[in-house]
Structure 1
Amino acid sequence: MKIKKLTQKLLLAALGILWVCTTIFAQVSDKNYTISGFVSDSTSQKKLDFITVNLLSDKGIPFKADYTKIDGSFTFSTLQPKKYSVLLVGVGYKNKTIVVDLTDSTKLKTDLGVLLLIPQTIGLKEVTVTATKQIVKQEVDRISYDLQADPESKVFSVLDMMRKVPMLSLDADNNILMKGNSDFKILINGKPSSMVERNYKEILRTMPASSIERIEVITTPPAKYDAEGLAGIINIITNKKIDNGYNGSLNVNERFPNGGPGFGGSFSAKIGKLGMSALGGASIYKSPQIINSTSRNTFGAENTILEQNGTAESKNKSGYLGYEISYEIDSLNLVSGQFNINGSNSSGENGQRSLLTATETVLQKYLLANTTGTKGSGMDAALNYQKGFKADKNRLLTLSYRYFSYTNNQNSNIDITERTNYDQPDYKQINDQQFSEQTFQADYIHPLKKLSIEAGLKAILRNNQSDFQNLFENNETGLYEVQPGLSNKFRNEQNVFGAYNTYQYNLKKWTIKAGARVEQTVINANFISNESKLSTHYFNVIPSLSVSRKLSGNNAINLGYTQRIQRPGIYQLNPFVDKSNPNFEKTGNPDLKPALVNDIQIGYNWSKKLSINFGLGFTFFKNLIFPVAVYDSTTNITRTSYGNTGQAKLPQGNLNINYPITKKWNFSMNVRAAYGMVRGIVNGILIKNEGLMYNFSASTGYRFEKSWRINASLNANGRGINLQGATNRFLSSSFSINKDFYQDKLSFSASVGNPFKKYRRNINDSFGPDFTQSNIRRDYFRAFNFSVNYKFGKLKDAIRKNKRGIRNDDVQSGS
């Protein structure tokens, strides 16, 4: 205690001596010269902080240096009566020098007022562009593609950009394929969204890629994700670096002749503890009249030949809006919510001339006109509560609830004329589908020193409903009457109860993530009109393992194994019989069971100036849900339904390369090759099909002076292999140009796709035990696109997001 009191007395004495010396010095130096001022941006007039202010002697020798404060002010005091120079230096601004004369003894304080710095646009862009930003990044269980680092994101939609992402490609109809498979799940910011669950193509071709930060391909989904999605998960991350203030982007585009006008954008804002973000857009997509034909040859007691030729055109209007909001109660408690809506309205007209012959005898002939209208809408809303812990803020408990629903209503009017040996009356088809689900979820994260433990519980309560009718025209009354045998009300309840546990262990060079998920599924189906019911349940244990090993430099090797499930959705279950083409019927199968897949992946990542991602994999499918086509010789109708009939083996390899050849010239390439081996039972007969499949995408871009950029890309798709057929290969190309203005905030872009070929033949060949068939469609191939993109706002403090939320990835999407 004595030492403590002595220390306090010495400190007080030292402060007293310092005060006396300061007072004496102030009295001696009765002339204290100062220089002060403010620094602002000449364009926005905003005060600039952290600008370097150098004080030089009249001979240019540095004397003092300081930085401007938050309000842009600076001050130099206790100066001698001399001549000085004030030099202002700021990154992205031109240097500014002011001469100051302090030799006038009557003027002790010199206020320079507001000094304006002029932005040096070219210099700022040079810094931004030449910095090598990694486009492709490999993590322990996923690969991410940075759209903001790809200049073509200002030109194309999110759907167009998918072909540049490793392990993704687009087929002839612009359907996304992940590792060659159409069964996957799409998430937005790690959560399911009604925007992409009903019909992802409508939304993604409307969504400008400039509004997206990155796309993650989760090749080995950990146990926290639901087990559905045979190929994996695509996670679309919107721009989430949200600070105090606001920012956003707007995009307006036009595409023709196949396409139309569209707009989209994003907006984010943060006010204190309240944060919000929105994503929205709309488009009109027109498909001009195309020509199609179908040729079918059957073999049996009587060989027949069916020839159909027709035309088709359609128009689709779609829009979407997503909104998220979060509020920080305190540093440990956070609540957040989301709300998404979307809708579409499409119409189509098809004309078809049909001729069925046998040994040069006309068996059937007619002319068909089909007018179809489809309306759909979807919405989802979620509420999340996240709690942290004082002992460790990385310990998190999250409770979540989500409601999701969509409807899809289709009406078709079929008129038949010029009949020969064809007596079926004109008819109408009505197919109203509804889907809804409620989800309850709890997640817990407990990090230790090098180990992170995750666990969770989840319950999904689903309700699929379909009300379908076939109405035939009464020739006597002219009225349409419901056909009981072709109409029904179908209800399918699917409840999934799951639990998971995941462990991630981090060492200096190794990262190991292992876990398991258990799921109990209970299904009850009810054919209300027929008063028949179907009930089943199944239990699954889904393991997953991911291992990453860092090598020297930025190199790494990854190994992953997982098992996935494909549960049938309403499109596969719905027993509605689509008779849009009287000779080819399509229907669902309420008796479908889930399919299983075992997937092994090994990848290598090498990243310096040249970035290389290389991977090998092997996938084995069991009880695969395949569309199965069976020909009925008594009715001359081919009916396609779904069945758990298939098994498949798929060895494959993929390669992604990104290389900045010079500071202004870049090159990227994405390649995938696989050999598909498929087998299954069709109409009691074993059918096998196999072949090489590949996808190739290469693009290059060059940046000129004054922010001009040109890009060119070449894409090649090989044959697509399925159980009963294959699609043809095709080659496509595109060229684009874009110009940035106002420090890259405003961009104008234009592109042309396939300038050397106006049309493309899309061929789908199929076969069965007693038939062969070829469908040929002539599509518009050449397309022009114009786009204007604008970014605005500036932010500082990042919005907190729930680190856990509901992710429903267990139902097959698409039709």
Structure 2
Amino acid sequence: MKPLLLLICCLFLSLGARSQTNQTLQISGKITDSVAQKPISFATVLLKNDKKVQVKSVVSAKDGSFALTGLTAGNYGLVIVYVGYQTKTIPVALGTTSKNLNPISLIPSPTQLKGVTVTGDRPLIKQEIDRISYDVKADPESKVNNVLEMMRKVPMLSVDGDDNIQLQGNSNYKILINGRPSGMMERNPKDILKSMPASSIERIEVITTPPAKYDGEGLAGIINIITYKKADNGTNGTVNVSERFPVGGPGIGGTFTAKAGKFGIATNAGGSLNSTPQLNNTILRLTQENNPTKLFQTGTSDFSGKSGYVGAELSYEIDSLNLISGQLNYNANSNESLSTQNSILNNTTSLIQSYGLSNSLEGSGDGFDAALNYQLGFKKDKNRLLTFSYRYYQFSNNQFNNVGVFNPVAYPEPNYKQDNTGGSVEQTVQVDYVHPFKKVVMEAGIKAIFRDNSSDFEYLSLNSSGNYILDPLRTNVFDNQQNVYAAYNTYQFTIKKWGVKAGVRLEQTQIDANSSGTILDKNSLNLIPSISVNRKFKESSINFGFTSRIQRPGINQLNPFVDRSNPNFTSSGNPDLKAMKGHSIEVSYSRFKKLAINIGIRALRGTNIIMPSAITVGTVTQNSYANTGTATLIGLNLNLNYPFNNKLRGVLGAMANYGMVTAEINGVDIEKKGLMRRAFTSLTFRPTKTWQASGSVNYNGPNLSIQGTSNSFVFYSFSVNKDFLDNKLSLSFAANNAFSKYRDNIRYINGTGFTQENYSQNYQRNFTTSLNYRFGRLKDSIKKNKKGINNNDVSEGTSL
């Protein structure tokens, strides 16, 4: 994620132009520290011509001096780079005489604690003080895969058989786009990530110790998707067109960035069609009560859907001290599914019940958010900033089930329809202040979120007259209002080779809920500290982090709507859920020699955990949520990167999490322990500058929950890429799971008095062709607000 603390101030010095001659000239000068006024030795000095092509480079001497000789008259750009300081660019016009520049002062960069590169030529993985980032652009498969597929390679992330993302085995996290919340990720992120070509993004960041400036939500951390680099004067963009077969479908996506003077815009957009053929599924449930039963269901289902998204960030620099920026995001999707089901319920001696169902499901939804930021600088110190921000966000989800009953035996229910409309409206106001004190940067801010979650669902039964009649006992209107008030204060500084980020956040939450006349009124106050420490060595670094986090339940967990599309297995939310609390501590080590290593250990302790629970009442298994658990998770994460030569590179990653969970479900204490594991390896071969091939294997071990586990599976792929037109045009082909048509997903559940096995097929074999085109040329970076709204405080699922 791009840190909002990133304070980059480039100083441009204009020098008078003189008439050109052909004599040999030189540019000389001296480099000093702007604070200590001491010479800076070994700084890199680059000289570029008017076409921005590098023509000379030197390193400053011990006294900070440098000289670039053997030059001819013309216009140049002098670029000075030194670790820990802001890069400075100076235009130089050489006429008939040489130039001896005034002392050049470099400004320290305490606001950005530099990351540590841990891979080869172009790093795939970068370890920073509070996060790990995966450079998607450096991976050849980014030209043919979507973003969800690329997440299988990101350290600490895993994707299960149903395409659900987990961060270190946990589903409590927040996904941001360019460091900010986005309507694209609030409703059903995996659908958008499937339709987003990986070539349209720069990198994926995993923030495991979020600083206090971020909302306190997300026990596991934050996933930040960076869609573009800093924009420059001119235009730049990418377009990706792909086709997946025999399942999947066509997709298109891309980015466009432009800057003209004081105005800049960066956009990303895309869409896809997705379909799967008819697949099989079964459920086997055995009860062990006084009258044991066996329920066996077999069914089929197909799916077709479409989704699209568009987002834009705009900025206008009024002058050097006043900046206005804004964001707009919109996404929408729709899907259809036709499923059939046959159900047989027996006891030890006879048939109890049987029936068949046909379910025609239609779903749709959209989301929109808009934000406006005003940033005020100060003449005495342009790194001192005051920012005012406002954000409006809303989304809606609609689900309609039309269920028909056939061949009933001892099954009294008629045909029925379910209609559920849910959504959320949210407004946020925020004020942030940044004040540098020499090498210490202080930040403080206040924030208020006003959120209204609601749903309206109806259940209609077919009567004897052939009309659908509303069933008031199965119909409900739900409203949940959350107001969150927060204040934070953070400090960050560097002392020699030590870097520190530390802060504290205070959050007050007020909840007022109404479920068909039942009023719920809850308040809570949470103090959330965080600290990250980085120690750099010559070719390695060690990081330490500690933070406390909370997790408020999302609308899907709160919504009391009872989904009865399968009469024997209902599911609903719980409007009485409270926020979870947790503490995490982590230590990581990075070495960036030829064999690059990144290894980390993390421990997470959570209380008041929201646990999914399943209980059987009569012939029905009821699935819901409750604050009944405590959890401890100890994890190990390892990544190795090794270039065998300049053509062949290998990557190996592994993650293991040992979880210990206790909970009470239906009055019974349950304890679960187990190891969750994941491994990934890939080889990339580049025989020439324009040809590249890559193969990868991804192993996902069982995913544990308090009442069960899942089977493991392997995902493998091979891709080849050919570049044209000076690497602007790329043609790619990929084969995923070419030798395995289906992936079997099996979920085992052990409840009080029953056991259950859920089986479903996924069509996993597919072949993809992709055409990717880059265009445009940029010059100077777009200026954007360094502060903005980050509502990373709600998730929609929980698992260990």
Fold match by TM threshold 0.5: yes
In structure 2, how many angstroms separate the alpha carbons of the residues matched to 1:52 and 1:803? 33
Larger-gyration structure (1/2): 1
TM-score, normalized by length of structure 2? Answer: 0.86
Q: Could you tell me which residue of structure 2 aligns to residue 666 of structure 1?
A: 649
Q: Deviations over 1:76-133 (max 9, x none)?
A: 99xxxxxxxxxxxxxxxxxxxxxxxxxxxxxxxxxxxxxxxxxxxxxxxxxxxx9812
Residue type matched to 1:641 in 2?
Answer: S
Choose the corresponding residue for 1:180, options 158, 161, 169: 169
> Which deviates more, 138-147 or 371-380?
138-147
How far residue 505 of structure 1 moved from its aligned partner, in angstroms, is 2.2
In structure 2, how many angstroms separate the alpha carbons of the residues matched to 1:765 and 1:211? 38
Q: Tell whether the 8 Å contact from 1:736 to 1:749 is kept in structure 2 after alignment.
A: yes
How far residue 474 of structure 1 moved from its aligned partner, in angstroms, is 0.6
Q: 1:671 to 1:775 in 2, by over 3 A?
A: same
Q: Deviations over 1:497-548 (max 9, x none)?
A: 0001111121111111111111110000112xx3221111111111111111
How far residue 67 of structure 1 moved from its aligned partner, in angstroms, is 6.5
How far residue 240 of structure 1 moved from its aligned partner, in angstroms, is 2.3
Q: Could you tell me which residue of structure 2 aligns to residue 247 of structure 1?
A: 236
Q: Could you tell me which residue of structure 2 aligns to residue 535 of structure 1?
A: 521
Residue type matched to 2:229 in 1?
Answer: K
How far residue 360 of structure 1 moved from its aligned partner, in angstroms, is 3.4
Q: 1:272 to 1:673 in 2, by over 3 A?
A: same
Q: Could you tell me which residue of structure 2 aligns to residue 517 of structure 1?
A: 505
1:176-255 to structure 2, matched below 5 A, reads 176-255=165-244
Q: 1:578 to 1:64 in 2, by over 3 A?
A: closer
Choose the corresponding residue for 1:269, options 227, 237, 258: 258
Q: Could you tell me which residue of structure 1 aligns to residue 477 of structure 2?
A: 489
Residue type matched to 1:531 in 2?
Answer: G
> Which deviates more, 428-437 or 506-515?
506-515
> Which deviates more, 147-156 or 802-811?
147-156
Q: 1:784 to 1:486 in 2, by over 3 A?
A: same
In structure 1, how many angstroms separate the alpha carbons of the residues matched to 2:650 and 2:395? 42
How far residue 215 of structure 1 moved from its aligned partner, in angstroms, is 1.1
Q: Tell whether the 8 Å contact from 2:710 to 2:746 is kept in structure 1 after alignment.
A: yes
In structure 2, how many angstroms separate the alpha carbons of the residues matched to 1:778 and 1:321? 32
Q: Could you tell me which residue of structure 2 aligns to residue 631 of structure 1?
A: 616
In structure 1, how many angstroms separate the alpha carbons of the residues matched to 2:74 and 2:681? 48
Q: Deviations over 1:411-435 (max 9, x none)?
A: 0001010011101011000000020
Q: Could you tell me which residue of structure 1 aligns to residue 88 of structure 2?
A: none
Residue type matched to 1:473 in 2?
Answer: L
In structure 2, how many angstroms separate the alpha carbons of the residues matched to 1:653 and 1:131? 23
Choose the corresponding residue for 2:553, options 549, 568, 572: 568
Q: Tell whether the 8 Å contact from 1:48 to 1:68 is kept in structure 2 after alignment.
A: no
Which sections of structure 2, spanning at least 5 residues, go unmatched? 1-20, 24-48, 57-68, 78-92, 97-118
Q: Could you tell me which residue of structure 1 aligns to residue 542 of structure 2?
A: 557
Work out whether 1:751 is the aligned partner of 2:734.
yes
Q: Deviations over 1:233-289 (max 9, x none)?
A: 011112122111000000001112331110000000000000001100000111221
Q: Tell whether the 8 Å contact from 1:200 to 1:814 is kept in structure 2 after alignment.
A: no
Work out whether 1:547 is the aligned partner of 2:527.
no
Q: Tell whether the 8 Å contact from 2:271 to 2:308 is kept in structure 1 after alignment.
A: yes
Q: 1:48 to 1:369 in 2, by over 3 A?
A: same
Q: Deviations over 1:530-589 (max 9, x none)?
A: 3221111111111111111112x2311011111111101110111100001000000110
Q: Tell whether the 8 Å contact from 1:198 to 1:814 is kept in structure 2 after alignment.
A: no
Q: Deviations over 1:112-161 (max 9, x none)?
A: xxxxxxxxxxxxxxxxxx98122211111111111122222112111111
Choose the corresponding residue for 1:578, options 533, 555, 563: 563
Q: Deviations over 1:210-237 (max 9, x none)?
A: 1111111111001000011110001111
How far residue 337 of structure 1 moved from its aligned partner, in angstroms, is 0.6
Structure number with greater CO (CA < 8 Å, separation at least 6) is 2
How far residue 52 of structure 1 moved from its aligned partner, in angstroms, is 7.2
Residue type matched to 1:650 in 2?
Answer: L
In structure 1, how many angstroms separate the alpha carbons of the residues matched to 2:344 and 2:372? 57
Q: 1:50 to 1:771 in 2, by over 3 A?
A: closer
Q: Could you tell me which residue of structure 2 aligns to residue 472 of structure 1?
A: 461
User: Equivalent residue of 1:195, what SS?
Assistant: helix
User: Equivalent residue of 1:581, what SS?
Assistant: coil
Q: Could you tell me which residue of structure 2 aligns to residue 715 of structure 1?
A: 698
Q: Tell whether the 8 Å contact from 2:730 to 2:772 is kept in structure 1 after alignment.
A: yes
Q: 1:584 to 1:448 in 2, by over 3 A?
A: same
Q: Tell whether the 8 Å contact from 1:409 to 1:433 is kept in structure 2 after alignment.
A: yes
How far residue 401 of structure 1 moved from its aligned partner, in angstroms, is 0.1
* RMSD (Å) for aligned C-alpha atoms: 2.3
How far residue 814 of structure 1 moved from its aligned partner, in angstroms, is 5.8
Choose the corresponding residue for 1:348, options 331, 337, 343: 337
1:294-693 to structure 2, matched below 5 A, reads 294-475=283-464, 477-527=465-515, 530-551=516-537, 553-633=538-618, 636-693=619-676
How far residue 51 of structure 1 moved from its aligned partner, in angstroms, is 8.8
How far residue 779 of structure 1 moved from its aligned partner, in angstroms, is 1.5
Residue type matched to 2:535 in 1?
Answer: R
Q: Tell whether the 8 Å contact from 2:553 to 2:796 is kept in structure 1 after alignment.
A: no
Q: Tell whether the 8 Å contact from 1:52 to 1:66 is kept in structure 2 after alignment.
A: no
Q: Tell whether the 8 Å contact from 1:197 to 1:814 is kept in structure 2 after alignment.
A: no
Higher helix proportion: 1
The alignment covers a number of residue pairs equal to 706
User: Equivalent residue of 1:670, what SS?
Assistant: strand
User: Equivalent residue of 2:137, what SS?
Assistant: helix
1:38-117 to structure 2, matched below 5 A, reads 66=72
- Deviation above 2 Å: which 4+ runs of structure 1? 46-53, 63-71, 74-77
Choose the corresponding residue for 1:811, options 794, 797, 800: 794
Residue type matched to 1:746 in 2?
Answer: L
Work out whether 1:280 is the aligned partner of 2:266.
no
Q: Tell whether the 8 Å contact from 2:120 to 2:596 is kept in structure 1 after alignment.
A: no
Q: Tell whether the 8 Å contact from 2:196 to 2:253 is kept in structure 1 after alignment.
A: yes
In structure 1, how many angstroms separate the alpha carbons of the residues matched to 2:52 and 2:203? 31
Percent of aligned pairs with the same amino acid: 51
Q: 1:223 to 1:76 in 2, by over 3 A?
A: closer
User: Equivalent residue of 1:204, what SS?
Assistant: helix
Q: Deviations over 1:575-612 (max 9, x none)?
A: 10000100000011000001111111110011122221
In structure 2, how many angstroms separate the alpha carbons of the residues matched to 1:70 and 1:722? 62
User: Equivalent residue of 1:540, what SS?
Assistant: strand
User: Equivalent residue of 1:229, what SS?
Assistant: coil
Choose the corresponding residue for 1:761, options 744, 747, 753: 744
Residue type matched to 1:66 in 2?
Answer: T
Q: Could you tell me which residue of structure 2 aligns to residue 117 of structure 1?
A: none
Q: Tell whether the 8 Å contact from 2:164 to 2:190 is kept in structure 1 after alignment.
A: yes
Q: Tell whether the 8 Å contact from 1:314 to 1:346 is kept in structure 2 after alignment.
A: yes
1:731-742 to structure 2, matched below 5 A, reads 731-742=714-725
In structure 1, how many angstroms separate the alpha carbons of the residues matched to 2:533 and 2:289? 55
How far residue 368 of structure 1 moved from its aligned partner, in angstroms, is 0.6
How far residue 786 of structure 1 moved from its aligned partner, in angstroms, is 1.0
Q: Tell whether the 8 Å contact from 1:749 to 1:786 is kept in structure 2 after alignment.
A: yes
User: Equivalent residue of 2:564, what SS?
Assistant: strand
Q: Tell whether the 8 Å contact from 1:50 to 1:68 is kept in structure 2 after alignment.
A: no
Q: Tell whether the 8 Å contact from 1:49 to 1:68 is kept in structure 2 after alignment.
A: no
How far residue 48 of structure 1 moved from its aligned partner, in angstroms, is 5.2
TM-score, normalized by length of structure 1? Answer: 0.84
User: Equivalent residue of 1:580, what SS?
Assistant: coil
Choose the corresponding residue for 2:707, options 717, 720, 724: 724
Q: Tell whether the 8 Å contact from 1:605 to 1:612 is kept in structure 2 after alignment.
A: yes
User: Equivalent residue of 1:148, what SS?
Assistant: helix
Q: Could you tell me which residue of structure 2 aligns to residue 701 of structure 1?
A: 684
Q: Tell whether the 8 Å contact from 2:245 to 2:766 is kept in structure 1 after alignment.
A: yes
How far residue 704 of structure 1 moved from its aligned partner, in angstroms, is 1.6
